[in-house]
Structure 1
Amino acid sequence: MSRDPENSSETAGSRDPGSRLPLVRPPGIRVIAVIVALEATALLVAAIWYGSQLLTGAPVLSFWGAVFTLGLLLAFSAWLIAVALFLFRGYRWPRAGALVAQLFTLTIGFPTMTGGYPLAGLAMLVPAVLAIVLLFDKRVIAFASRAGGAPPAL
């Protein structure tokens, strides 16, 4: 059976799921959350532009393929917004989502940079590398370790 701590100093340094006192949010969490939120915003803007082009009758090979692409842009944008929000709150699961998003950004940013668009490529690569480095910072890992769900039984 679990017991309540007798003084608040027992919970100040720990981060168990039943704890009510949060740890101090490290600046790395804020930076990663802002990077992921900006990527989500960029995808949302791309989806709006893509959808407006689709509505104005821009030629496409497959209309339903274009609708599917629009749906993917919107879904990925919503997913990144959730990742940024829950990472900022300190949950554990968004770290993996943020890492995967940054790896996808690297796979697009590097060919963009070497393919003749160096500024656009660097605009993708620099934040992605910064977010990846910060995701493995000890303070970020310690803060973003809250599991969702019910508190432990014992």
Structure 2
Amino acid sequence: MSRPPVNASDPAENPAGKSAGGPADVPGAGADGTAGPRNGRPKGILVIAIIVALEATALLVAAAWYGTQLLTGAPVLSFWGAVFTLGLLLAFCVWLFAVARFLIRGFRWPRAGALVAQLFVLTLGFPTLTGGYPFAGLAMLVPAATAIVLLFDKRVIAFASRAGGAPPAL
């Protein structure tokens, strides 16, 4: 005769013959323990990922415009400083796309990256709003504030708690 498990996550057999506490027993999880769009991904994650991806797209458009201006001979104080600025725009764009992608997949680290990006957007949005460009300022502030609020939603925190595993040794 076997005893029932003391811990609900103990992989011992339960009376129904199913294993207790495995990844498939988590509500909304698939057989391999991952949550997919149909089985547990909160809408807040999708909204945040869309906001971050749109911000990355806007940066890509700005980088393309900046690059074309640089190539057409627009006057700059320092050519290599402008090239460095273009590189920073492209690097930040790639970083934001990675944040959006891994946030949808449920990893933990993109939440911090998304928060930092939204704080940067807020830092630019307030002076833009008060500097005579109210529509551009609101276009930056409203999505950033929405993303910040959703980043602290308990369902988003619960979903985005997957830690990256170590690569296999061999």
The two structures have a TM-score, normalised by structure 1, of 0.89
Partner residue, 1:77? 93
Distance 2:139 2:19 in 1: 45
Distance 1:129 1:142 in 2: 20
Larger helix proportion, structure 1 or 2? 1
How far 1:22 sits from its partner (Å)? 2.1
Q: Is the 8 A contact 2:11 2:19 kept in 1?
A: no
Distance 2:163 2:92 in 1: 23
How far 1:83 sits from its partner (Å)? 0.2
2:26 is the counterpart of 1:13:
yes
Residues 38-87 of structure 1 deviation map (CA, whole Å, 9 limit, x = unaligned): 00000000000000000000000000000000000000000000000000
Unaligned runs of 5+ in 1: none
Q: Is the 8 A contact 2:26 2:33 kept in 1?
A: no
How far 1:149 sits from its partner (Å)? 1.2
2:144 is the counterpart of 1:144:
no
Larger Rg: 2
How far 1:8 sits from its partner (Å)? 6.0
How far 1:14 sits from its partner (Å)? 7.5
How far 1:21 sits from its partner (Å)? 2.0
Distance 1:135 1:105 in 2: 15
AA aligned opposite 1:67: V
How far 1:4 sits from its partner (Å)? 5.4
AA aligned opposite 1:53: Q
Unaligned runs of 5+ in 2: 1-9
Higher relative contact order (CA 8 A, sep 6+): 1
Partner residue, 1:111? 127
Q: Alignment partner of 1:59: what SS?
A: coil
| Two-structure CA RMSD over aligned residues (Å) | 2.2
Partner residue, 2:46? 30
The two structures have a TM-score, normalised by structure 2, of 0.81
Partner residue, 2:117? 101
Distance 1:14 1:20 in 2: 12
Q: Alignment partner of 2:74: what SS?
A: coil
